[in-house]
Amino acid sequence: MTHRQRVTEALAGRPTDRTPVSLWRHFGGIDVSADGLTEAMVEFQETYDFDFVKFMPTGTYTIMDYGAETTWEPHARGTRTVHRLPVNRITDWASLRPLDVDKGMFATVNDALRQTVQSMGPDTPVLQTIFSPLTVANKLGGPATMAALRQEPAVFEQAMEALAALTERLVAAALDRGADIFYATQTCTAEVVSLEEVRRWETPYAERVLGPLRGRALVLLHAHGDFLWFDEAAGWPIDGINWHDRRGGPSLADGGARIRPGMVGGLNGYGSLRNGPRRAVLDEVADAVAQGGGRLIVAPGCVIPGDCPPHLIRAARTAVEGVAAGL
């Protein structure tokens, strides 16, 4: 089977030659250059031969052209440090507009995406990271975001419409370059919002952005947080859902019993995958496959740290071969 066939069939719960697997990490310091990001993505995939490539622009790529001031300060997570947020007052929300995704950092990211997709070819899905509009809002405004949402909903809705239009442009740009979609929300968890707020500010926009992609692209959802509104998110128009099953839960077994989409998870990137021993990584993969019930892609609950030892990443990659062989 090709990588794409294996991923598609597994998410649908149909038989595959083995369980698909993918891991991803940030490439801090070089991920703001089109050539640097492309080279890092291609080298990582050539090294480990994963079943899909989760494209990894800097996590601040959606806010830098709005004026966010960031720097790269080396650490294991691989993310940039934000020194100044673009949105600080209610009037800032009112003035937000969807930006041109063919300019600035958006253009850099899309150029790297194009090069990466071309390098991988059609049989290996490359999934562009697309943040939900509410997640982008939260990145733009930080602590001011939820205050605006609750205190000035009419103004905040104007901003959300602008960010939804931006998100649609980013999705269209990704599809134009041959990519699929990794839709990421950091704002579908009780740590940030109530269920009622999710149903007003997350679900309608997910349906608006992702609904038209049915039959056109592979769509995986990453739901970030330890207290997820899991069942709500799993009802969005997606093919698979990725979450912190080893940390916040639910487990793969519990989650799989509750939802329709396929599952993407089973690994704790900050556990044995980072600290070993190798045997623990192999056992974690075997347990994930057993829980997954035939509709699983083995993966971390989120980005793995940049200091995960290569031999442990390789152990996770090759473990699915051993499980398939009954070893």
For the chain, domains (ranges, CATH) are 3-324 (3.20.20.210)
Point out which residues pair with 228 in neighbouring strands: 189
In a structure prediction context, what are the per-residue pLDDT tens digits for the chain, which is 327 residues long? Answer: 999 999 999 999 999 999 999 999 999 999 999 999 999 999 999 999 999 999 999 999 999 999 999 999 999 999 999 999 999 999 999 999 999 999 999 999 999 999 999 999 999 999 999 999 999 999 999 988 999 999 999 999 999 999 999 999 999 999 999 999 999 999 999 999 999 999 999 999 999 999 999 999 999 999 999 999 999 999 999 999 999 999 999 999 999 999 999 999 999 999 999 999 999 999 999 999 999 999 999 999 999 999 999 999 999 999 999 786 665
Q: What confidence score (pLDDT) does residue 325 get?
A: 67
Buried b (16+ CB within 10 A) or exposed e, 273-311: bbeeeeebbbebbbebbebbeebbbbbbbbbbbeebeee
Question: Residue 324: what pLDDT?
Answer: 67
Q: Which two tokens stand for residue 29?
A: 């310091």
What tokens were used for 136?
């982008």
**Nearest Cα to Cα of residue 169 among 217, 99, 239:** 99
From 44, 141, 151, 26, select the one nearest 95 (Cα to Cα): 141
What's the DSSP call for residue 113?
H
pLDDT at res. 327: 56
Look over the chain and give the mean of its residue pLDDT values, rounded to a whole number. Answer: 97
**Which residues have C-beta within 8 Å of that of residue 283, sequence separation ≥ 6?**
none
pLDDT at 322: 77
Strands 262-267 and 219-223: unpaired
Closest residue by Cα to residue 56 from 30, 27, 14: 27
